[in-house]
Chain A
Amino acid sequence: MENKNKVLLKVENAGISLNDKSLVKGVSFEVKQGEIVTLIGPNGSGKSTTAKIALGIYKKIDGKVKTYTNKIGYVPQKISIDWTLPIRVSDFMTLTEELNQDQINIALNLTGVEHLKNKSLSNLSGGEFQRVLIARAISKQPELLVLDEPVQGVDFKGEIALYELIKKISDKMKCGILLISHDLHVVMSATDYVLCLNGHVCCSGTPHNVVKDSKYRELFGDRASNILSFYEHKHDHTHSQDGTIDQK
């Protein structure tokens, strides 16, 4: 099973310093096909920086980054479109890739914003803009998706739907996903591998193991550790036909 999926991204002992101050250091992880890897951590812990290192955005980094695909879709954390640049959603969709009208419509439909196709980007609300960003990133059918807080500003109901969509994409399109998220519920229930960052990797592993780590508790508090009990419930026992509990 492990060997079957192609490695798309390999980060080895990577880091970056600005004016001799380390922003993040010693990060290693891999993203494989069909796998969701998440970065969590407090503000300023270097999550976005790590994603940018992985994407090759910085010129000088420590350590090594290797990508094994050039079909990459990226949803940056912050993007501002100046008023001086008149651009419609449909123009934005084809920013880095040639797409036909059908492909544009399908992608916008998936994130629920097909009706905004001819609207100007500067007239969108924060949540609408995020949906367009996600649609653009998936429309090119990438092998590797990097999503930096992809659902910020999206309403609660939409958030769940979008995370379900992301999960579906990773399953169906077999692409690897590097996700940055604040939502521990989502991270713990839907991802395969978690890295907990705070300037360096505090702990990493499957969600199940990370939650048990004392360093995770230190960073996020005890309440955050209980988060998994909610999901774990499903995993620590099974029900037999008549409803009684089978112990593992």
Chain B
Amino acid sequence: MLDDFFIRALLAGIGIALITGPIGCFVIWRRLSFFAGTLAHSALLGVTMALVFELNIALSVFLISAVISIFLLQLQTKTNLPNDALLGLLAHSSLAIGLVIIGFLTTIRFDVMGLLFGDILAVSQSDLLVIWGGGVFILIILKIIWKPLFASTINYDLAKAEGMNPDRYNAIFTILMAAIIAISIKIVGLLLITGMLIIPAALARNISSNPIQMALLSTIGGLLSILIGLFSSLEFNTASGPSIITAALLLFLISLIKTKKFSELKK
């Protein structure tokens, strides 16, 4: 029989995979992998802020993500440095500031490792509520904005010319990304949320031929990673978060074999 904590971990993981599947596709289509990483790094600052000001962690992480996004837009207008340099600057400096502030919090014992890698086995019922409630909300918004967001992803000018208002949907998508990181930071940790956003979507690309199919396969890939990762962490007594990402990587490698065969067939 499975323990309660393990069932909760499974439910939390499944919830996260359902959201990161389709959102992750947009992350790689829009070349936002590094941006997602930057938001995840800034989440550490968000968590320390939550501790300092006694705020809700998810809310605090969400607010810091929003601040970082706005700051990035400001930097883009002030300098001609390429985006990846600006993102690296923001990611590492917000991580550093977070760690510096933690150093001052002598009264609070703080599990930095837990924050980096998450602790999916420690998920509480209220955490589950946050993930599933937030997740359903995020997926409904994504469903509503799918068409204009997709058009804006394909080509900004075309979307704008034909009345799709790409600026609005680009902004909404950034908010959705911040929301995902906010609700999942406690469970999978900041290093692994980026992995869950990117790896399942990447493996899905190798084996799909249209956008809807890719979103579905990405979700399935995420679910399989969660299941394989969690059960093997139980079996081999390994850290659960990293096991999930390792499982995702294995699935990615398998998807590569399939792609290779496809391209050989074409020749």
**Given that A85-B29, A86-B208, A88-B210 are contacting pairs, would A73 and B157 also be in contact in the complex, using a CB cutoff of 8 Å?**
no
Which residue of B has the minimal Cβ distance to A92? B154
A4 to chain B, nearest CB (A): 26
Q: Is the C-beta of A87 less than 8 angstroms from some C-beta in chain B?
A: yes
Contact present for A96 and B29 (CB under 8 Å): no
Q: Say whether B85 faces chain A, with CB atoms less than 8 Å apart.
A: no
| A18 at the B interface (CB under 8 A) | no
Given A79-B155, A81-B154, A95-B150, CB of A86 within 8 Å of CB of B161? no
B88 within 8 A of A: no
Main secondary structure of the interface of B (DSSP, over half): helix
Whether B153 pairs with A85 at a CB distance below 8 angstroms is: yes
What's the minimum C-beta distance from B114 to chain A, rounded to whole angstroms? 33
A95 with B151, Cβ < 8 A, contacts A86-B209, A86-B214 known? yes
Give chain B nearest CB distance to A84 CB in angstroms. Answer: 5
A residues 140-156 with Cβ under 8 Å of B?
140, 146
| Docked complex Cα distance between A16 and B214 (Å) | 40
Identify B213's interface contact among A52, A57, A86, CB under 8 A.
A86
Per the 8 Å Cβ criterion, residues 73-116 of A in contact with B are: 73-74, 76, 79, 81-82, 84-88, 91-92, 95-97
Return chain B residues, CB-CB under 8 Å to A42: none
Interface string of B143-182 (1 = CB under 8 A from A): 0000100110111111111111000000000000000000
- Closest Cβ of chain A: how far from B15's Cβ, in Å? 26
Interface assignment of A202: CB less than 8 Å from any CB of chain B: no
Instruction: Say yes or no for A45: interface residue by CB 8 A criterion.
Output: no
B28–A55 CB distance below 8 A: no
The answer to whether the Cβ of B186 comes within 8 Å of any Cβ in the partner chain is no
CB neighbours of B205 from chain A (8 A): 84, 86
- A-side residues, CB < 8 A to B, are 52, 55-57, 70, 72-74, 76, 79, 81-82, 84-88, 91-92, 95-97, 120, 140, 146
Given A72-B163, A86-B209, 5 extra CB contacts under 8 A: A52-B161, A72-B161, A82-B31, A85-B154, A95-B150
